């Protein structure tokens, strides 16, 4: 057996992997796979093969740079972790952790959770998922009546008008915050000192890869936060068919960030998007309270976060109230079906149909 990296354009190998996956799965979309796993050094998809070349499993690893009280550290975010043969899962898991020495699970599959619990990874509490306006996603295979009902519910006048609410919140707070859309992250976008104790800290090159505004399969909006006339942070929103994710953000203070998020939502969620669903994840009390005051509601179940690996001491404090956590880390905001695309690799194997 050997583990190899997926190479962009190797769609024959990708087809073989997809024959063992459900019909609606991200790895069936070549544009996504080639960009996320093969267009940069930040993320790779690893395939385990036997001597005959048959794929026994796979795992993706995004090497995410974090700032912590102990300094800068890279953490491997695992994705598309699948073992198709007995024994493959443990080897792939070890390969995942070895990429950075530390692994991060934010959400994840039941198989991944079983292994991280067995490995005694540290789970971090206090992370809340918030939502505004229910998201009525159109799913493949929905009956006509269900599609119609979702369309009507999404257009209900009872939903919060985000554009108007954002203007009201900023006016009441007498905020001197505005946002400016950007097509890409220039180096000066990061010319501020972040106050958060633990944060995902990509540079401009990383931002322009992970949250590119010109992707064929996802629609990201990058907005620069201006506070008192000076650049003081940024917000990235992920526009999906039935909702918007507060994908990633950072700023010079929690208050600037909170109002920058509000201003960004008011800018992007206007017109046809004024009543769309919005999802945010946070553990910081200032950001959380601002979103709750806006009208967000906490979800009953929030995405769990766990970190572990080869190090005995983790550089992450248990108290997450000073952390900056966002919804669209790793591939969390990059899930099939993708925008305006059909899967490149259809179901050809009976095992895939049964898995659905």
pLDDT at 252: 98
Q: How far is CA 341 from CA 28, 204, 264, 336, in A?
A: 11, 28, 27, 10
Q: What CATH class is the domain 129-300+319-324? A: alpha beta
Cβ burial, residue 143 (10 Å; 0-12/13-18/19+)? exposed
Based on its alpha-carbon atoms, the radius of gyration of the chain, rounded to whole angstroms, reads 21
pLDDT at 325: 97
Domain boundaries along the sequence of the chain: 2-126+341-355, 129-300+319-324
pLDDT at 137: 52
What is this structure's pTM?
A: 0.91
pLDDT at 144: 44
d(CA 200, CA 339): 26
pLDDT at 150: 39
Low-confidence residues of the chain: pLDDT under 70: 136-158, 347-356
Nearest CA to 137 out of 248, 24, 282, 286 is that of 24
pLDDT at 140: 52
pLDDT at 348: 59
Instruction: Name the CATH superfamily for 2-126+341-355.
Output: Gcn5-related N-acetyltransferase (GNAT) (3.40.630.30)
Q: Do domains 2-126+341-355 and 129-300+319-324 have the same CATH topology?
A: yes
pLDDT at 347: 67
């Amino acid at each position: 057996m050997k583990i190899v990296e997926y190479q962009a354009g190797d769609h024959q190998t990708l087809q073989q992997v997809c024959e063992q996956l459900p019909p609606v799965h991200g790895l069936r979309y070549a544009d996504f796979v080639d960009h996320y796993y093969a267009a940069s050094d930040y993320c790779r998809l690893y395939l385990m093969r036997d001597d005959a070349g048959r794929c026994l499993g796979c795992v993706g690893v995004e090497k995410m740079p974090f700032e912590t009280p102990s300094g800068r550290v890279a953490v491997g975010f695992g994705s598309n972790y699948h073992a198709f043969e007995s024994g493959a899962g443990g080897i792939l898991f070890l390969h995942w952790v070895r990429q950075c020495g530390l692994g991060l699970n934010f959400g994840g599959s039941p198989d991944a959770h079983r292994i991280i619990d067995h490995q005694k990874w540290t789970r971090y509490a206090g992370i809340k998922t918030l939502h505004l306006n229910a998201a009525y996603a159109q799913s493949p295979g929905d009956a006509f009546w269900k599609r119609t009902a979702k369309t009507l519910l999404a257009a209900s006048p009872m939903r919060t008008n985000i554009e108007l609410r954002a203007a009201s919140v900023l006016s009441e707070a007498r905020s001197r915050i505005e946002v400016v859309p950007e097509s890409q992250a220039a180096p000066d976008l990061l010319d501020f000192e972040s106050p958060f104790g633990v944060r995902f800290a990509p540079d401009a090159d990383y931002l322009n890869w992970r949250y590119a505004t010109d992707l064929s399969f996802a629609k990201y909006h990058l907005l620069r936060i201006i506070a008192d006339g000076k650049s003081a942070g940024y917000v990235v929103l992920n526009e999906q068919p039935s909702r918007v994710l507060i994908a990633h953000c950072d700023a010079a203070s929690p208050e600037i960030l909170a109002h920058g998020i509000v201003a960004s939502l008011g800018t992007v969620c206007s017109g046809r998007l004024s009543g769309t669903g919005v999802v945010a994840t946070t553990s910081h009390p200032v950001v959380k309270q601002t979103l709750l005051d806006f009208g967000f509601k906490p979800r009953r179940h929030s995405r769990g976060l766990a970190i572990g690996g080869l190090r005995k001491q983790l550089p992450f404090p248990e108290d997450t109230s000073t952390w900056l956590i966002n919804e669209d880390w790793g591939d969390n905001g990059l899930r099939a079906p993708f925008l305006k695309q059909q899967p490149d690799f259809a179901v050809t194997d009976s095992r895939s149909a049964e898995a659905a």
